[in-house]
Structure 1
Amino acid sequence: MSNVRTTAGSTLLVCPIVPNPYSAAGFQALDFTEVGEITDFGEFGREYSQVTHAPVKNRRTVKRKGSFDEGSVTLPMARDSSDAGQKLLDAAVLTDDSYSYCIRLQDGTRFFFTAQCMSFKTTLGGVDSITGKSAQLEIDNDILEVASASFTLEYKAGPNGSIQGVPVQTVQEGGTGTLVFAKAGQGFKFEKWSDNKTDNPRLDVPVTANLTVTASFVAE
C-alpha cells in the first residue's frame, strides 16, 4: 500500500526556548504550543548556492555546491486573537532570539528546527475576506526529521463497571483512538476517568503519549 498522504491534519507548534542539546531528544523535551488556523505550510529545506568556474581551454562550465541555506517558511493563517500559538508568534517577531518550531505531519512525522520570526503581518483583504496573519520564519539551524512513534491506550474499569470497546489500543502518534464506553453495573453510574475526564463514550485524539486510565463508578 502506498505511503502517500495529504497535508490535511498537519500542525505547527512553537516554543520560545531553544533545545540543549540541539537534537531530537532536546526538541522532544520542550513544551510546545500549537499555532491554530494555518491554511498553507508552503515548502522548506536545504538549498545550496551554485559556484561556477569556466576554464578557457575546454569552455565547459564547472558547477559545484557552495554555501547552503536551510530555507524559510511562509505561513498564512486566519487571525485568532485568543490563540496561544499566535500570541507566541507575536512575541517572536519582537525579539532577536530564535524560537523552536515543530511541523507535525498527518502520519506523526515531525520536523524540528529553530528559526528567526522575521515578520508576523496582518492581512485584511476585501469585504469577502477572512482577516488573516502571515508569519515568515527563516530557519537558522539543521532541520531534524523524526519518524512517527506509536503509543498504547489502555482503558480499565474500577469496581462495579466494565469497558465496552477495545480496552488496549496501539495508535500512531497524532492518530485517533477508537471509542470506548464505561458501562456501569446495576445500581451504579459512571462518575469519571482517573484523569478527571468525564467523556463517556470516550475518544482520544490526537494521541501524543501513552495513556492508562480507569473508570470509576458511584451508586445511583
Structure 2
Amino acid sequence: MDALSGVSLQDRAAVIEETLVLADLHVGQAATAVELPVGAGEAMAERLKTLTAAVDPTVVVVAGDLLHSFQGVPEGVSQTLGVLREVVHEADAELIVIPGNHDTLLDAIWDGQTTPAYRIGETVVTHGHVDPEQPAERYVIGHDHPAITIEGNRRPCYLAGDAVYQDADVLMLPSFNELVAGVPVNNLTGGEFLSPLVTDPDAFAPVVRDDETDETLVFPPLDEFRHRL
C-alpha cells in the first residue's frame, strides 16, 4: 500500500525516514482531576526510550493530544512531560509537538517547540481533527484511536488508505497510551469517525503490529474484511 510505503511500524508508533511519530499520548487521561496511576508515566517513558534506542531518530513528533485534560492539569502530568522530554534529549533527538484538540492547556506547562503540522518530504504529519492546510501526498494522523476486535479481542490498530483524502494517502496511528483501549472500527461508518480525513472507512485497511513476533499484519480494506470479523 502507498500509505505504508517507507514506513516502519513499532509499538503504536511509526518511523518515516529519521522521524519517530507518536500520537495521542493523552498524558493525564486516567487522572481526571486526580493524579496519574502509579507507574503510568514511567511505563510510557520506558517504551519511548526503547523506541528511540531501536530506531535512533533525529526527530520525535507527537501528532496531537499530548495532554488529555480540558479543565486543569492533573498532578503528575508536568513530571511525566519532563521525563518524556529527557528521554528524547538523551537520544540526541529533537522533540516537536503538534497540538491536538485535547491540548488546550498545553501552553501552560509546555515551553518546547510546537507546530500545526510537520512535513517529511511529501508526507505531512498532523493531528487530524481538522482539515490540513498543507497539501501532501500522504497524511499521518491520530485523533480517532483506532482499534479492531477480532474473535472478541480488542487490539490497537493502524488504518491505512490509498488516495482516500483529496487523492492523498492517509495513515492513522493508534493512541500511544496503553491505557487507551481504542475505538473498534469494525462497524464504524464515515459519519462516526471524528477525523475529517476519514470519509470512507471502507477504503481503509486495518494494520495490526505484533511486537512480540515482530510481525506487521496488513488486513484487507474494511469493506472486504468486515464480514470475517
Q: Taking structure 2 as the reference length, what is the TM-score of the superposition?
A: 0.26
Greater C-alpha radius of gyration: 1
User: Which one has the bigger strand percentage?
Assistant: 1
User: Which one has the bigger helix percentage?
Assistant: 2
Q: Taking structure 1 as the reference length, what is the TM-score of the superposition?
A: 0.26
